Amino acid sequence: MTIREQLEAFWSGDRPDRIPYTIYYWEWRHTADDPRWQKLYDMGLGVTWNIPTTQHRTTGVEYRSASRREQGKTFERRTVETPVGSIYETFVDGWRQKFMLETAQDYAVMTHLVRHTEVLPDYDLFLATERDIAPYGVALVDLQRTPLQTILVDYVGLEHLAYHLVDFEAEVLELYDALLRRFRCAVDIVAAGPGRCVSVLENFTAETLGPRRYKQFLLPVYEELFPTLQSAGKIVSVHYDGKLAACKDVVAQAPINVIESLTPPPEGDLTLAEARAAWPNLLFWSNINVSCYHLPPEDLKALVRDRVQQAAPDGRKLAFEVSEHSPTNWPVSMPVVLDALREIA
């Protein structure tokens, strides 16, 4: 089987000839020209691209960016000007230092921006990418995040969201509603478009919300909209890359197909055996902890075999990936994982 055929079998709940193993495009691209990757492709490694099938068009808004170099660092300020005010965020060497939303007025500006953003189909980009990427490449549909995760991850940050839900509750809920209307439009467009697996990059970790907020903000969106995608033949994959035990029961109620970037301890707090007991029918696209790649080869092989035994003793409902950090020793460690999966098959 090709990597695409393996993933198709995985998404369908069938048994591929070998458990798939992939790496995110953005964890691979900085070394993509290295000829040593070819050996890994030949051994079965795939590269996943997240490509949107929608585009946003905003009216009456101006975007500006200004950057400077100082003491060997790049400082950048990105500003959005709207008729009701401006908001900005700052970065140092690409790392966000200040989020856009800090005050009630900031929320009003962002809500205006979202309400004046139209969601349009953009299928050509996905189809062209799917056509042009090499045989080892697989295109996934990028649906970005659901409304609250967008606010948390992109606009506010974890440190401030809890305060804002108290101090600016009305403003948070107003923005949430505007984002939900936009997300509904995106789901309809994605459902009608190309691509089998829809990637929702939630970046969810349970301690940020807890089960009560999950039930309030995430589960209703999933229950309303994910069946639209599934009835169109899509596989819905959510990026849950943190600790999940506190929400495992409510996650079990969600109409999702794949938990992607599922990471065992120490980064996560569920072993694959515990995750399988909690979610017997879900597909796991599991991240191998980056520290594991520095184990001696036989120990790394044993770890892969053990995780397969925990989550997929019949070879179904499991794939592995590099999704959080690319291992620095990838030319020697990633072939070990591929060897282990070949030996298990």
Please state which CATH number belongs to domain 3-56+116-344.
3.20.20.210
For residue 118, the model assigns a pLDDT of 96
Q: What is the mean pLDDT of residues 195-212?
A: 95
Q: What is the mean pLDDT of residues 25-52?
A: 96
Three-state DSSP class for residue 149: helix
Q: How confident is the model at residue 79 (pLDDT cuts 50, 70, 90)?
A: very high
Q: What is the mean pLDDT of residues 177-205?
A: 97
Q: What is the mean pLDDT of residues 32-36?
A: 95
Average pLDDT, the chain: 96
Residues 6+ apart with CB under 8 A from 12: none
Q: What is the pTM of this model?
A: 0.94
Q: What is the mean pLDDT of residues 327-337?
A: 97
For residue 158, the model assigns a pLDDT of 86
Residue % of the chain over a pLDDT of 70:
100
For residue 99, the model assigns a pLDDT of 96
- pLDDT tens for residues 223-256? 999 999 999 999 999 999 999 999 999 999 999 9
Burial environment of residue 154 by CB neighbours within 10 A (0 to 12, 13 to 18, 19 or more): middle
Q: How confident is the model at residue 89 (pLDDT cuts 50, 70, 90)?
A: very high
Q: What is the mean pLDDT of residues 209-215?
A: 95
For residue 51, the model assigns a pLDDT of 98
Residues 6+ apart with CB under 8 A from 89: 77, 78, 96, 98, 99, 100
Q: How confident is the model at residue 294 (pLDDT cuts 50, 70, 90)?
A: very high
Q: What is the mean pLDDT of residues 288-312?
A: 98
Per-domain residue ranges of the chain: 3-56+116-344
Q: What is the mean pLDDT of residues 115-127?
A: 97
Long-range contact pairs involving 16-19 (C-beta distance under 8 Å, separation at least 24) = 16/315, 17/345, 18/44, 18/341, 18/342, 18/344, 18/345, 19/308, 19/312, 19/315, 19/318, 19/319, 19/320, 19/341, 19/344, 19/345
For residue 159, the model assigns a pLDDT of 84
Q: What is the mean pLDDT of residues 194-199?
A: 98
Q: Taking a C-beta distance cutoff of 8 angstroms, is the pair 238, 260 a contact? A: yes
